[in-house]
Amino acid sequence: MKYLIFSLLTLNILNAKAQAKISYDLFLDAGTSLSKSPTVVIPGFRAFQYDPNTGTTTIIQFASKTSNTFKNKISPQVSLGVRANYALSQFIKLYGGLGISFINSKRINTFPITVGGKNFDYITTESFNFYNLNFKLGLSASKNKWSLNVGISPSLILSSKVAVIEKPEDPEFYPAPPGTLNPQDPQPSADNKEKGFISISISPLYQVSNKLKIGLEYDHGLSKLYSSEVYQSMKVSSLCFKIVYKLK
């Protein structure tokens, strides 16, 4: 009987020590998304000139290639979640977390058109919305009031759609007949082929109080967040202001 009591006391002590190494945090990230899309090289194309007075469209044929380029436009991102920390030592912690995020990603799509030796740019702004479930795993190293978090985050895309396509009001030339659907002049649709994506993160934090830490977090997208047969694919990274509140 005394051995059973001793074993139960030992297990209780070990469990208490293990519990003492575990802590829980609530985190909030808010910042900007940074999209990156590869250039599309088009070997041959046609331009279209529309006359609003007569309602006629003139086709201009080209033999030379052109490049469809994309540029990131600052847009918001926010995420909220909870994470559990396990102390491996006084200065090193292993963490795992779960969160939800909203990403609005905007990019400027420039389609160059050359007519009679002159260059014309047909520019659209494409806006995408994503709702995601994020899983986080990483290591945290701390010294004094500073800590550095490094991790990886596989995510599931819960919902995605092309929110807005802003077009030039009165361009002189079009890359396609006005009002038609083609890869250079697309319309909003929900045709994302991607179901998830992976990113890696680095985050320096400063401890303001016993419960509160603030800092920055950079997430670098390793895989595509978006791809379809209509719109060019993209990877998305982010730079956010981070708040961490200790729950336990």
Q: Is the pLDDT of residue 146 over 90?
A: yes
The more confident residue out of 47 and 234 is 234
Over residues 201-230, the mean pLDDT reads 92
- Mean pLDDT, residues 124-130: 87
The pLDDT tens digits of the residues spanning 4-29 come to 454 444 445 445 555 668 999 999 99
Q: From CA 157, how far away is CA 38, in angstroms rounded?
A: 21
- % the chain with pLDDT above 70: 68
For 58-70, the DSSP string reads: EEEE--S-EEEEE
Whether pLDDT at 163 is above 90: no
pLDDT of 65: 53
* Burial status of residue 153 (CB atoms within 10 A of its CB: 0-12, 13-18, 19 or more): buried
d(CA 107, CA 187): 15
| Cα(10)–Cα(204) distance, integer angstroms | 39
Please give the residue that has the higher pLDDT: either 65 or 81.
81
Per-residue confidence (pLDDT) for residue 92, from 0 to 100 = 93
CB 148 within 8 A of CB 95: no
**What domains does the chain contain, in order, with CATH numbers?**
21-246 (2.40.160.20)
Average pLDDT over residues 66-72: 74
Q: Where does residue 117 rank: exposed (0-12), middle (13-18), buried (19+ CB within 10 A)?
A: exposed
Greater confidence (64 vs 94) lies with 94
Other C-beta atoms within 10 Å of 221: how many? 21
- How confident is the model at residue 127, as a pLDDT? 87
Model confidence at 164, in pLDDT bands (50, 70, 90)?
confident
Identify which of 63, 60, 192 has the alpha carbon closest to the alpha carbon of residue 115. 60
